[in-house]
Chain A
């Protein structure tokens, strides 16, 4: 990992899984598959993510018993039941707080949170932003299908304004959250966005997220075929996705759209005069004006500006990739360090006998 812009020099490990025991033998996806029947709707994007995670975990090379998946409530939160690791399917919105307890108590565990747009951004919004602020060593997979599935189709905090659902027959009047903007605002140290159907990209983001020490937030666009089918068609359709996806690769120019002779897109991102970022034609700007993505920039301003290029209505355009990846001290490492520095040799009798003590001789 490149650490040229590390915010603070760390004496603690910089790899997310550094203190987690490695498996003795090579594992396969089957080792991580529980005996439970998967019960998502046919065609649900969750299947693809589950497959990708089951395929990815063996590559992580950790002992299965040292991996914990914690979830909240919602369709995606059934995830832990299908993985043969330790797991907890908890209560609505609270998984980040439970995971904080687990990660702080045990440095030898790889802790994952599986959540959805309603779970993480509505009922559990507070826990999400505080986990990110504290930078607890865990990876949060935020499945965003822009709808409530398990409660059968109400609009979610990421649904586009005006959405007609069971609870909004005249259209919703809520303005949606942009999860990446929100989490960058909470000063998350790792923020990425990927797509359920792009297994290769999803897996590469999972690898980077797991390797990151601190809270990694991965927003996964995930299609709900029952209540919000087609929400991500523009970025999945081969005819439109080149224009819809703004790919973010650290160290590379941000270009997209139909390719030019140099093999890269004809559109690019440049800074605009108002301090933000805009889309421009490559042919109309100087080469040095084209933004080169720097995920390691300690200042999140530019990452935030890029996140604003996500459509808040129907998704015709969205930056995809790792927005931000910087190192700063984690809550759990520091909390454990304080305990360790205290020596652990507390004398209970001396504690009890402290203060002004007097003796009564019968």
Chain B
């Protein structure tokens, strides 16, 4: 299939497309395929899948709408975009749920097939919006996509219902033509996916091609668009979601540490894909244990770590609550363990399929007693790989449980990932104990003679890292007992001694405080900023986009983003004190700002959003402009400076 350039091609810098339909309409698949085509084409991109918690919510209703948004551009971008340029709506509910997000003049491609009285009513439309002038601000293409799909696949003898199922492929074909996407990947994908169902395979390919040709030939679309590949650092790339990158990071860390990885997990949205992915990688020595509950998931991981494996447990917020006691045990045992929290809207069951970053304080403090552990957060889908490797490095080096924070936005969103050279990744030293580490002297009661014996003290620490030795069973002479009761410094027997407990509590804290993390580098191109914006986790993209917009207005703002939440980088306090104002945007009610205020006595200004959605770039820009205005800093000149530039952000 080749583009026959009979129609003019218009160059555009960037496009935001949202596919929306019923949750059974295959919108996620459609979005995924368009993303893959776009990635292979070489655009920079960011995606935002959004779907209901119900597997099949009531058909045709607003709660049942599933959507997939893709932002792609010929330059680097940081977010999935605020206002789509194109909406593909497969039914009335999909139109109604999404139309208000569109920019003025946006293209709406509607499948009219389901615009029946009944379905309009289900979506809450009194009148057919395609008839009135309520959509006058948009370029509406009302097409019977379903009918055209059925026509296109009739030769394959499928039932009408089955034939109609290929309508997502028809619309994918149409959009692929509109934006000049390479189509071979999708045809290969369909061929493989339905290899055992030739009629379904052929129907899907036929529908896809028919949609493409419809675009070429119909008079409805006068032009197609071209978004040139983005400039990017030299290298090999693939598009990757956060959960996949995080899973690869765990596999890689096992290799770097030369330790088998053991994942104990209980299925939970949006973390289950990590369990699914790791279960495929037994060839890397990865064992996955689908436990009977969240507690058994971490229990199995602790057992595996005790036995000398790299124990990992993956979950979301509700699961972290259940694992809290076991995490405290891991703090006491001082064994390597990684607890992955793919955060979702809370509290309780909350919003399982929506994003939030409200588990930070739980990660920091959500255990009984003084139970500190390092906390690491990923900032973008591809960054989940590096964050996972870093969490494992800290866990193994310091013999400690580590909390690795991701969230629903990172987990399911995707972006291009510059592939790392495995050989260049630094190894992680497991450094098991191999022999006695201590000499005991004993006096013979009769002879008074002193004898020395070499023995093993499980709580004798490395003076540098304060890590205790890791001595898995099977090593002769190192037999020892660990447990949740307080241990005496050094020999590790049970101790109720007040001074020992005081020492051990402070030492466990000192060990975590002493974890080496790199200093922060502030992004402040002009060096003249008086305001710093600081964030952590998945707000990296929206904050970066907001900062760009503000700078394009000629204003100065400094930005820094935290990978390490515990301990904080050594130079953080000094950085915070450099600025007249510190703004902290978060998808919670101000958890990082609380920590910064407590630790550094700075008047950190909390700006928050808990809508279950990431911040938009425009929303972030507004926040930053308001905060700058508080400092008396306003935009030089008129408000419409750089409007054209803004459109690129």
Contacts and interface: CB of A to CB of B under 8 A. Distances in A.
Interface string B89-107: 0000000000000000000
Interface in B523-581: none
B484 interface: yes
A348 B282 contact: no
B505 interface: no
Contacts of B39: 356, 358
Interface string B379-404: 00000000000000000000000000
Contact of B303 (A99, A345, A351): A99
A34 B481 contact: yes
Secondary structure at the B interface, as helix, strand, loop or mixed, is mixed
Interface stretch (A142-150, A269-277, A335-343): A335-343
Contact of B238 (A101, A105, A339, A357): A357
A361 B292 contact: no
A127 B292 contact: yes
Contacts, number: 210
B237 A357 contact: yes
Nearest to B255: A348
Interface string B294-327: 0111011111111111010000000000000110
B387 to A, nearest CB: 15
A106 interface: yes
B295 A97 contact: yes
Interface in B128-162: none
A81 B481 contact: yes
A126 B292 CA distance: 7
Contacts of B598: none
B622 to A, nearest CB: 34
Contact of A105 (B235, B307, B475, B483): B307
B40 A66 contact: no
B239 to A, nearest CB: 7
B8 interface: no
Interface residues of B, number: 74
Most B Cβ at <10 Å: residue of A64, A70, A88, A336: A88
* Interface of A (DSSP majority class): mixed
Interface residues of A, number: 62
A94 B285 contact: no
Interface of B: 36, 39-42, 185, 232-240, 248, 251-252, 255, 260, 262, 264, 281-287, 289, 291-293, 295-297, 299-309, 311, 325-326, 328-329, 333, 419-423, 472-485, 493-494
Given A101-B301, A342-B283, A358-B39, 8 more contacts: A63-B476, A64-B479, A65-B479, A81-B481, A104-B262, A130-B296, A358-B41, A359-B235
Closest 8 CB pairs of A and B: A101-B303, A89-B483, A97-B299, A362-B234, A101-B300, A346-B283, A346-B284, A97-B296
28 contacts: A65-B473, A65-B475, A65-B478, A65-B479, A66-B474, A73-B484, A81-B483, A87-B481, A88-B306, A89-B484, A89-B485, A91-B325, A97-B291, A97-B295, A97-B303, A101-B311, A102-B304, A103-B303, A105-B262, A105-B307, A126-B293, A127-B299, A339-B287, A344-B284, A356-B239, A357-B237, A358-B39, A358-B40
